[in-house]
Structure 1
Amino acid sequence: MRAHTSTVEPLDDAAALAGQIRAVVGKLTRRLRGKAPPGGLSWSQARVLGRLEREGPTTLTALAREENMRSQSMGAIVGPLAEAGLIVGAPDPSDGRQTLLSVTAKGRDKVLANRRIREDWLAERMRATLTAEERAALTRALALMDIIADD
């Protein structure tokens, strides 16, 4: 295992630590995005497909709200997903005027394959660059970040 260095400095100041966490998470996100292209989808379409796979069926309006966009803009994103057979709409059982969008088996396969590529790359990077002790420290830090991320 090769020696490695980090630009992250130990910090006691919460504001400075928050800035560094944001920067590192952003850098990691960009690296992960580069490892698994969305397979003919825009990044917005890939993000919406992933959200439906993770969180389950929802309405176009709710998706738009969660993604901070107008319903019309979300419609332009989900339309091609439906045409490609990656999502499907069905009447909402509690309100027949609404349509619930959900991921299809084909859509789930696409999301899972994309996720597998990214997770395999990340696991390999961790094995190649971190000691077992460092991976254990990362596990502890991840638990703390999960606490922070909870509402």
Structure 2
Amino acid sequence: MSYANDMTPTVEQVARTDTGLASLLRVSVARLSRRLRSERDPLNELLPVGQLSVLGSLFRNGQLTVGQLAGIERVQPPSMTRTVNCLVDGGYVERRPHETDRRQVVVSLSAKGEETLAADRKRRDAWLAQRLRELTPEERRLLRAAAPIIERLAHS
């Protein structure tokens, strides 16, 4: 393959193969993720990203058992139990016995958890919205079309 000026390949050239596209997406998504993490609400800096992710899962799914949370977050149940304990101690979630299976515990967002998550999302959404406004209308159209596909990849 011949590259522009026989030097480093362009993004378009790399993305022509599935392997090249995979590499490009992996790097780009990781960089965007790091950049969005750097835009976290300063008041939430003490809340680790994993705990914030659990708050997001509870927001999207409603109350869940520790086992369900572990499955969604792709961690082992003992790890999720530790995370939930920290979130309960901080007042971000509430824990109570399952209605029909008293051996299980159900976890739900507290008011503090909802407020924390909302503030964090608002700040990061504002940063990303500003960056999107810097793109051309065609670039935004392409991202709108790609977003559901990226979401599907993230959940596969």
Q: TM-score, normalised by structure 1?
A: 0.82
Equivalents in 1 of 2:71, 2:142: separation in Å?
A: 36
How far is the alpha carbon of 1:96 from its aligned partner?
2.1
Residue 29, structure 1, aligned to residue 26, structure 2: no
- Residue 137 in structure 1 maps to residue 142 in structure 2: yes
1:50: Cα distance to partner? 1.7
Count of matched residue pairs: 144
**Bigger radius of gyration among the two:** 2
Write the letter of the residue equivalent to 1:89.
R
Structure showing greater relative contact order (alpha-carbon pairs closer than 8 Å, 6 or more residues apart): 1
Matched, 1:41 2:47: yes
**What is the CA deviation profile of residues 80-138 of structure 1, one whole-angstrom value per residue up to 9, with x for unaligned ones?**
2112221011221231221110111210111011011111000001112x112211122
CA shift in 2, pair 1:22/1:64, >3 Å: same
Q: Which runs of 5+ in 2 are unaligned?
A: 1-9
Q: Which runs of 5+ in 1 are unaligned?
A: 1-6
Query: Cα distance 1:104–1:120, how it changes in 2: closer, same or farther (>3 A)?
Result: same
Q: Secondary structure at the match of 1:97?
A: coil
Q: Secondary structure at the match of 2:94?
A: strand
- Give the Å deviation of 1:70: 3.2
Runs of 4+ in structure 1 displaced over 4 angstroms?
A: 147-151
Which moves more between the two structures, 7-16 or 29-38? 7-16
Q: CA RMSD of the aligned region, Å?
A: 2.1
Aligned twin of 1:60: 66
Q: What is the identity, as a one-letter code, of the residue corresponding to 1:108?
A: E
Aligned to 2:99: 93
Larger CA deviation: 34-43 vs 84-93: 34-43
Displacement, 1:62? Answer: 2.6
State yes or no: 1:127 paired with 2:133: yes
Q: Which amino acid aligns with 1:136?
A: R
Asked if residue 114 in structure 1 is aligned to residue 120 in structure 2, the reply is: yes
Deviation of the 1:29 alpha carbon: 0.5
Percent identical across equivalent pairs? Answer: 37
Q: Deviation of residue 147 (structure 1)?
A: 4.7
Change (3 A) 1:84 1:26: same
In structure 2, give the amino acid aligned to 1:13: T
SS of the residue corresponding to residue 41 of structure 1 reads coil
